[in-house]
Structure 1
Amino acid sequence: MNKDIPVYHYDGGVLAPVQVHPVKEFPMKLLVNERELATLVASPHDLRFLVAGFLRLQGFVKSLDDFVLFSVCNDFGVANIRIKGELPDKLRPILTSGCGTGVTFTLPGSDSVGKVSQPDGLSVPPEAVFALMDDLGKKAEQYRSHGGIHSAAVGDGEDLLLYAEDLGRHNTLDRIAGEALFKGVDLTGKMLVTSGRVSSEMVAKAALLGISLIASRTSPTDMAVQIGDQLGITLIGYVRGRKFNVYTHSQRLVIS
């Protein structure tokens, strides 16, 4: 049973008790085909989306039909999954740069991900980027309440289609990939906005989903810029107010 620990706020030489609830951190052991694959550390909500998206973006499944058994037990912190086919004999886990440290079994780049398949004549006005980022801010109530939570959303230039939040920014993309799988949402040519830094693995994962534009309130890494350029993804950083920086494929933006 979790026990509340008193929290005190320091101000002007005085410590006073305050009502603060730290972000919940939940470890989920992932068993795939009776093999312990990883332990995902995440926020405790909607874990089926996280598990499905993680396996999708690792290349182990492509559709819901690839799952033979899908069981997520929050009480014991175990996801028991059985998929069609076998896992590779040797999997080398790689710790990623995500908050709390993410894990992947491949370090994706331009050599393992093809260029994003874009609809003909796809173009994005800056106002669509600003509008989706504004929608992200409105949805991120948990982030505003106590911090420590990353958020991400996918839109089509008019509407916000999917939204996810988690203590790890890499988990938000896995969650979106999983929810899209469950709901049959095609992410080809869509926009992704995120509250956190954009790393190389996030760009590569977005490319696997067919996302054409990624925008962040903060900055991309140098490897993210390199991979975004090679994969045909428009990469935008520092979306603040009505300004931003464009790092790759600026031709996709329609400037009036």
Structure 2
Amino acid sequence: MDEFALIPNPNDEKLLQTLSGLDESGQPVIIKVPVERPLTLFLNGQEIVTMMTIGDYPEYLATGYLLNQNMLTLKDKITAIDVDEDLGVVVVRTDQKTNFEEKLKKKTITSGCAQGTVFGDMMERFESIHLNKEAILLTSWLKDLFLKITHQPSLYLEAGAIHGCVLCHEVSPLIYMEDVGRHNAIDKLAGYIYHQNLTTEDKILYTTGRLTSEMVIKTVQMQIPILISRSGFTAWGVELARKAGLTLIGRAKGSRFIALSGQERIKFSPSKF
């Protein structure tokens, strides 16, 4: 796969809105801000959740959400995904209908930005997943990788107030997703991986958001062995990463970082910069 097989589209007028205001000196300014719109997800005939999202790639967001909440498994067959942009609805249809009332009763609010939900049984698969112990991360890759990501045109560079997740292989960024919440961005990534049937056992996930329990759980469920963020950690996120054997790296900028889990995958090599 080539670098940046899928990237954000900062020129999509549906994703950004232009607003006027005043700056600190009282002068008029015009800026762009990301949109937020509700997207209600149905699985067959069951309403699951309404998410606040910028609205791109609803089919990937819906699929990834259901996979990361264990409401779908890799063995389930998706027969159709119907999107109605005017109504703000996406319907995922499978070959077998399932009742999720009991799971919906367990719904709790997470620490994610925008609207995030996590089900009490997200941990069902967590302890049974074995991440690839042979995956490695050369420290010499990092600065080059970060430069490619941060210089890629994006909604963040255009307007800010948005999170990004990037699937990478070695020094190459592959898939770049953005949304108002980091959980939406990673769900879009999970949906893309599912629909494109990509392997993840040798991949790296880069995120702009905090390394929380939710981000760790979803990364492990996607079977990605290395998670990197320019932001910091939460204690439970670190605890879960250590339990799963996930390489967890935070406060990453340039050649600097802090690793709190899975250090055995890191190969310290001289930087080429």
Does residue 161 (structure 1) correspond to residue 190 (structure 2)? The answer is no
Q: In 1, distance between residues paired with 2:75 and 2:53? A: 22
Q: TM-score, normalised by structure 1?
A: 0.90
Please show how residues 229-248 of structure 1 align to structure 2 within 5 Å: 229-248=242-261
Q: In 2, distance between residues paired with 1:171 and 1:234? A: 22
What are the superposed Cα offsets for residues 14-34 of structure 1, whole Å, 9 maximum, x if unpaired?
x22222122100110111121
SS of the equivalent of 2:267 reads coil
Does residue 207 (structure 1) correspond to residue 220 (structure 2)? The answer is yes
Partner of residue 100, structure 1: 114
Partner of residue 45, structure 1: 56
2:141 partner letter: A
Which residue, out of 59, 69, 86, partners 2:98?
86
Q: In 2, distance between residues paired with 1:129 and 1:145? A: 24
Structure number with the bigger relative contact order (C-alpha 8 A, sep ≥ 6) is 2
Asked whether the equivalents of residues 217 and 237 of structure 1 are also in contact (C-alpha less than 8 Å), the reply is yes
Instruction: Check 1:8–1:89 CA distance in 2 against 1; reply closer, same or farther (3 A cut).
Output: closer
Q: In 1, distance between residues paired with 2:61 and 2:212? A: 19
CA RMSD of aligned residues (A): 2.2
Partner of residue 33, structure 1: 44
Instruction: Check 1:64–1:139 CA distance in 2 against 1; reply closer, same or farther (3 A cut).
Output: farther
Q: In 2, distance between residues paired with 1:50 and 1:111? A: 20
Asked whether the equivalents of residues 249 and 257 of structure 2 are also in contact (C-alpha less than 8 Å), the reply is yes
Q: In 1, distance between residues paired with 2:180 and 2:153? A: 12
Please show how residues 1-256 of structure 1 align to structure 2 within 5 Å: 7-12=20-25, 15-63=26-74, 66-83=77-94, 84-91=96-103, 92-106=106-120, 108-109=122-123, 112-118=126-132, 121-139=134-152, 141-256=154-269
Q: TM-score, normalised by structure 2?
A: 0.84
Q: Which runs of 5+ in 2 are unaligned?
A: 1-13
Which stretch of the first structure deviates more once superposed, 223-232 or 122-131? 122-131
Instruction: Check 1:35–1:135 CA distance in 2 against 1; reply closer, same or farther (3 A cut).
Output: same
Q: In 2, distance between residues paired with 1:111 and 1:40? A: 24
Asked whether the equivalents of residues 112 and 182 of structure 2 are also in contact (C-alpha less than 8 Å), the reply is yes
SS of the equivalent of 2:132 reads coil
Q: In 1, distance between residues paired with 2:108 and 2:56? A: 25
1:70 partner letter: I
Runs of 4+ residues over 6 Å off in structure 1: none
SS of the equivalent of 1:20 reads strand
